[in-house]
Structure 1
Amino acid sequence: MDFLLSGITSITIPQLVMYFVGFLLIYLAVNKGYEPSLLLPMGFGAILVNLPMSGVVDQILPGIGNTHGIIQWLFESGIEASEALPLLLFIGIGAMIDFGPLLSNPIMMLFGAAAQFGIFLTISVAVLLGFELSDAASIGIIGAADGPTSILVSQILKSNYIGPIAVAAYSYMALVPLVQPFAIKLVTTKKERQIRMPYNPVSVSKRIRILFPIAVSMIAGFVAPQSVSLVGFLMFGNLLRECGVLHSLSDAAQNILANLITLLLGITISFSMRAEAFVTWQTLVILVLGLFAFVFDTIGGVMFAKFINLFRKNKINPMIGAAGISAFPMSARVVQKMSIKEDPTNHLLMHAIGANVSGQIASVLAGGIVLNLLTTLL
């Protein structure tokens, strides 16, 4: 009887907190529809890894001895040892992206770069708050609103806060429709949000579409070698899409591979959400800093658009700059929705998609640049 009750009597208050966190993530996934494919596995996994004597993590169980937990094995094999899971997910993401709107209007690439401002600002703030440089860099990447990049950077840098960083990154991705409108309105006027931008796309040849992912991968390798795995897998997925001879592989990458890896990644990252590592005051600070990074990434893109308008006759709607974060395609949809609300005849979706896909490239490049800088400094 004592053995049967040992699990209940072993529960700690921090574990109870993590049960609440797990239920909260599941609630947000099911009832609110916030990134359900990621938040639901993460929430359920958070409950599993905090059950005493559950066996999903390595433990010594009474009467059994050492056990090798499946979730811990997945984490150590798929993330800690090789970073395989987040990297494989990039193949699926790349296969989903159409870079046509960006290639037909290359100026949109600038907004992807400008919308990474919050990352580097947050790194500085985190260092001032006492975080180690590797932890501060990992926290700053949350601002890219790119979960796989956040996980990969924090893992390579051996951050002590992978769990909170992953939760913050994916939570803020899900909260794009709530956070970005607030940040955009904070720094724009109604008149600026009503600026019209006719869409006159330039035809992009198949040759350019094929050469683009190859060129981006090579440039990334020269400029930020640590980003090659990030950018390379993203661009490989896009090459599958654009080559025109691997339709079945492209479909598999977009659907089967992306869904399977997303499922495994969500429950695997929950290993870093064990109570002893997650229930700390640093977790709360990381959540606040992640939101800070996200908001200032958005503001950085908007302010850059306003700066460019000082030198342009044909003005750019500054909301486009906000789409330069990596949350594809949610951020582009937010800009479109806001533009329609301000003027029902003003459609900015394709412009916003151009900036949004550039943000996808810029975020992984930013992750590589951060890794390169820290490799040099440390």
Structure 2
Amino acid sequence: MEILQGFVDAVVGIFEDSGLLTLNWQNYVMIGISIVLLYLAIKKQYEPLLLLPIAFGMLLVNLYPSIMAPPTTQLLTEAQCTAQNVAVSGHAKTVIDGVTYIENPTYGGLLYYLYQGVKLGIYPPLIFLGIGCMTDFGPLISNPKSLILGAAAQIGIFLTFTGAIFLGFTEAEAGAIGIIGGADGPTAIYVTTKLAPHLLGSIAIAAYSYMALVPIIQPPIMKALTTKKERSVVMEQLRPVSKLEKIMFPVIVVIIIAIFLPDAAPLVGMLMLGNLFKESGVVERLSKTAQNELMNIITIFLGTTVGATASGQNFLTLDTIKIIVLGLLAFCMGTAFGVLFGKIMYKATGGKVNPLIGSAGVSAVPMAARVSQKVGQAENPGNFLLMHAMGPNVAGVIGSAVAAGVLLNVVG
């Protein structure tokens, strides 16, 4: 009978600790959402390198919330320590109302510790280091005017910032929401951890979802704002860029931005360091490590832990709906302003600039540039806009980092 009773107690204990009793309806809804995101990442291949770990992190935290639990300290009497087989020696003691308690620390969940790289602002700059190693600033150097298009696409960030305040968000929260318009996941995560960490799950998922949907969201906006004649413009070939120019560019950019906008220095600095690794040609091993092994490791940690912030209780709120809508508006406005400034350049140059390249001013590299190429070639099969669009595209990466620095400086 004692064996049977022990077996029954064990089964009851397992059942009581299972998710059947500890999870609520919000967790099950988030499990469903995570499965949809996994489908989009695997089947549709929408930004799979980040959407897949984000979705799986979301799945994990809603199945097993303790995986993100912070460490705690139990206060136990000596009698409780004896009953629970906790060693009394080696632990700090606290006296409360004449009673001595033993401080028994417990460890946090696995993803809690990995999340510290997000919380402390370590992972996003390291992602930028890898991006810098993979980025060719040649098209931007060859056509510096494309910097204007990258800057124009950031206007959506600041308009959304204003709109978010109007909807009741604080200035810090509005800054974090507005940065979604830059279509730059690491920048959105970096700004959010500094300004509104409690919104990280909602903002990160919105940012990466819209980045993944660039080929769906952008073309209708681009076609609505341009004429067939404008979309058919064939641009002149870009001039060759010397190695000296490519080496000087990251050094000059980081000096200017770090002096005038120090809050943007961590992101821009790592971006330019990675690019200098690539263009200098003397540290090939470092360049390969930064864009491969380091980038891959940080991507796993960043995506999984960011997804793990989207627990049902934190994510399923009215604010999340507002963030998703505002994020979409920010992204659409960024695309629209890039195209509109492209039209201005079209007029100013006598029809030599195809306005479609302005849509690449959002920093979804290189997907936004490919969309410009695809839409332009649909109108004129002999049109090759990819390299021209890469100028505003990489300018958008710098622009989103600068916008982040402005927001951190103003409301941080």
Q: Which TM-score applies when normalising by structure 1?
A: 0.94
Residue correspondence of structure 1 range 45-124 to structure 2 within 5 A: 45-52=57-64, 54-58=66-70, 66-75=106-115, 77-80=116-119, 82-124=120-162
Cross-structure match for 2:24: 12
Letter aligned with residue 21 of structure 1? I
- 1:48 touches 1:54 (CA, 8 Å); kept in 2? no
1:65-91 per-residue CA deviation (whole Å, 9 max, x = no partner) reads 94410101111x2011x2111111110
- 2:200 touches 2:309 (CA, 8 Å); kept in 1? yes
- Unaligned residue ranges in structure 1 (runs of 5+): none
Indicate the SS of the match to 2:308. helix
Cross-structure match for 1:3: 13
1:89-110 per-residue CA deviation (whole Å, 9 max, x = no partner) reads 1100000001111111111111
**Cα 1:53–1:183 shift into 2, 3 Å:** closer
User: In structure 1, how many angstroms separate the alpha carbons of the residues matched to 2:56 and 2:167?
Assistant: 32
**Cα 1:269–1:141 shift into 2, 3 Å:** same
Cross-structure match for 2:90: none
How far residue 308 of structure 1 moved from its aligned partner, in angstroms, is 2.5
Letter aligned with residue 276 of structure 1? Q
- 1:97 touches 1:357 (CA, 8 Å); kept in 2? yes
- 2:42 touches 2:52 (CA, 8 Å); kept in 1? yes
Cross-structure match for 1:359: 396
Cross-structure match for 1:192: 230
- 1:94 touches 1:234 (CA, 8 Å); kept in 2? yes
Residue correspondence of structure 1 range 22-33 to structure 2 within 5 A: 22-33=34-45
Letter aligned with residue 30 of structure 2? M
- Tell me the matched-pair count: 372
Indicate the SS of the match to 1:161. helix
User: In structure 2, how many angstroms separate the alpha carbons of the residues matched to 1:347 and 1:204?
Assistant: 19
Quote the RMSD (CA, aligned, Å). Answer: 1.9
Cross-structure match for 1:299: 336
Q: Which TM-score applies when normalising by structure 2?
A: 0.87
1:228-252 per-residue CA deviation (whole Å, 9 max, x = no partner) reads 0010000000000011101111111
**Cα 1:59–1:5 shift into 2, 3 Å:** farther
**Cα 1:101–1:159 shift into 2, 3 Å:** same
1:156-175 per-residue CA deviation (whole Å, 9 max, x = no partner) reads 11343111000011111111
1:257-288 per-residue CA deviation (whole Å, 9 max, x = no partner) reads 11111111110112311111111111111111
Cross-structure match for 1:280: 317
- 1:53 touches 1:59 (CA, 8 Å); kept in 2? no
Residue correspondence of structure 1 range 338-357 to structure 2 within 5 A: 338-357=375-394
The answer to whether the aligner puts 1:138 opposite 2:176 as a matched pair is yes
How far residue 307 of structure 1 moved from its aligned partner, in angstroms, is 1.8
The answer to whether the aligner puts 1:289 opposite 2:326 as a matched pair is yes
- 2:262 touches 2:405 (CA, 8 Å); kept in 1? yes
Cross-structure match for 1:254: 291
- Out of 198, 204, 207, the residue aligned to residue 160 of structure 1 is 198
- Out of 233, 254, 265, the residue aligned to residue 228 of structure 1 is 265
Cross-structure match for 2:243: 206
User: In structure 1, how many angstroms separate the alpha carbons of the residues matched to 2:167 and 2:317?
Assistant: 15
Letter aligned with residue 301 of structure 1? G
- 1:49 touches 1:57 (CA, 8 Å); kept in 2? no
How far residue 254 of structure 1 moved from its aligned partner, in angstroms, is 1.3
User: In structure 1, how many angstroms separate the alpha carbons of the residues matched to 2:233 and 2:335?
Assistant: 18
Which deviates more, 1-10 or 365-374? 1-10
Letter aligned with residue 71 of structure 1? L
User: In structure 1, how many angstroms separate the alpha carbons of the residues matched to 2:229 and 2:57?
Assistant: 47
Indicate the SS of the match to 2:44. coil
**Cα 1:244–1:297 shift into 2, 3 Å:** same
How far residue 370 of structure 1 moved from its aligned partner, in angstroms, is 1.2
- 1:166 touches 1:269 (CA, 8 Å); kept in 2? yes
Letter aligned with residue 374 of structure 1? V
> Would you identify which runs of 4 or more consecutive aligned residues in structure 1 move more than 3 Å?
52-56, 63-67
The answer to whether the aligner puts 1:41 opposite 2:79 as a matched pair is no
- 2:277 touches 2:283 (CA, 8 Å); kept in 1? yes
1:90-131 per-residue CA deviation (whole Å, 9 max, x = no partner) reads 100000001111111111111100111110110111110001
Letter aligned with residue 121 of structure 1? L
Cross-structure match for 1:370: 407
* Higher CA-based Rg: 2
Letter aligned with residue 166 of structure 1? A
- Out of 195, 198, 208, the residue aligned to residue 170 of structure 1 is 208
**Cα 1:369–1:55 shift into 2, 3 Å:** closer
- 2:65 touches 2:311 (CA, 8 Å); kept in 1? no
Q: Give percent identity, aligned residues only.
A: 46
Letter aligned with residue 11 of structure 1? L
1:33-53 per-residue CA deviation (whole Å, 9 max, x = no partner) reads 011111111111111111246
- Unaligned residue ranges in structure 2 (runs of 5+): 1-10, 73-83, 87-104
